[in-house]
Amino acid sequence: MRGPHNIWRLIRTGATFERSGAMKLLLDAYDAPPLLRVAARVLGWPFQWLGLRGDPAAPPLPRALTALGPAYIKFGQILSTRPDVVGPDLAAELRVLQDKLPPFSRDVAMKSIEVELGHPAEELFTEFSEPIAAASIAQVHHARLAETGEEVAVKILRPGIEKAFRKDVDAFYLAAWLIDTLAPFSRRLRPKDVIEHFDGVVRAELDLRLEAAAASEYAANTEGDAGFRLPKVDWFHSSRRVMTMGWVEGIPLGDIEAIDAAGIDRAALGERVLSLFLNHALRDGYFHGDMHHGNLKVAPDGTLLAYDFGIMGHLDVYTRRVYAEILYGFIKRDYKRVAQVHFEAGYVPADRDVDEFARALRAVGEPIFGMDATRISMGRLLAYLFEVTERFGMETRTELILLQRTMVVVEGVSRSLNPQINIWDIAKPIVQDYIEKSIGPRAVLSDMADTMKVISRYGPRLPELVDKALSRQLTAPAPKPRTSRRMLLLAGVIGLLMGGGLVALGVGLS
């Protein structure tokens, strides 16, 4: 599947961008240097006849991305939230990719329901509308349950979407291999790992049972969050290609005029989007990984409503603490500590100079503070960060790819609601509270108590494990002193952990 035949897919991608006029738009948006413009023209113009035609009535970039397929549409959805990167006009054009794509017919949708749920759609629903939203992977219908009369939203995967995504992802694997082979300096970015991560995310998004489970877990985590609500999953009317959820009314977050007409405070709403994302990432370690305008609405009372849980991010406790310390270091402008955290976490090779890295981070962070948020170009900031990471040999952290991407998207959504918003002002109290709860003395005792719980599970087997270890030591031909030191070290560690656990237990009981 990932053979040389995918070269045709890559060639056609460039040709489609050239034929639609999207290539020039992108070069202008990123202020490409003259040499790159000439190279793109020379390489692209002769092959433009190979490009897909797309919809001539659509703007150039949406036309190209829609013609190329769902994976490219996902890329366009992200760009649509970044007017500071591609410009407000281009961002507005790209918003049609979020939930205004050409739908498939109602009859096809009802047939899919019958195949998936085992009953004709007419038996399950007394009402079933034409598509009300169509995105890159699925579309949504408004319906009413025959059994209870409840209004619901029914999400159905596009016919053949699995095959279409497989084709795109296969071409991406080839592109990653070419980059890795022909540009060795880019290996630190681990392009193959990036595509594997993207592939895993896509596979999960193409099984709506996993999305329903994600929505259920997300709802349980955020039940107490003020001003935030999720629709309830209807498990009985859900399957791999069909998902049914409760119906909730709201204004799309991209409809600024309607939000203003409803009298909703956009500045407060923008702050809520940012603060909720940070809380979910740090507090829960489980966050919505696709928070663009098309997946967010606001209720008449100002409550934020979230949809589409096909892409969810997970961070383990250690990664959350590293992420929080890095953010907090930037907020406090303690660049030395930010640098040290990178080294301690292994994000930067140990042979690099920590002070030099701290100075490079200062050059990234200082322009952010004391500046009007509207003057900060995230595009230029990310470009400089790329130069810094390349200089210090940082490798791409696959576990942080989704977090980093979602952070960019969320900031873009918040800024569209309030252009004056400053991410650091919103982040400071949230990160500070997390630091106090998760890295202070109480957190240390809690960690030791958790460690003791794990060790205690092996309590009944400890005599057997020790006996086997000693037997191997007595019969092994290797020198005994080294093995004995290891045994003593192991015993010392276990003793230390047990002692620490008892202290933690004592503190907890007191």
Positions annotated as catalytic residues are 290
Q: Residue 352, class by beta-carbon neighbours within 10 Å (0-12 exposed, 13-18 middle, 19+ buried)?
A: middle
- Residue found under tokens 């399957």: 239
Give start and end residues of each alpha helix (H) in 439-479. Answer: 441-457, 462-475
- Packed helices 60-68 and 7-20: angle between N→C axes, nearest 10 degrees: 160
| Contact indicator for 349, 393 with CB cutoff of 8 Å | yes
Strand, helix or coil for residue 277: helix
**Best CA proximity match to 502, nearest among 81, 494, 229:** 494
Rg (alpha carbons) of the chain, rounded to whole number: 26
- Residue 151 is classified by DSSP as E
Q: Which residues contact 53 (CB under 8 A, 6 or more apart)?
A: 19, 67
The structure tokens listed for 448 are 């030791």
- Half-sphere CA count of 148, side-chain side, radius 13 A: 8
- Residue found under tokens 């096809």: 108
- Residue found under tokens 């109480």: 442
- Packed helices 398-417 and 317-332: angle between N→C axes, nearest 10 degrees: 50
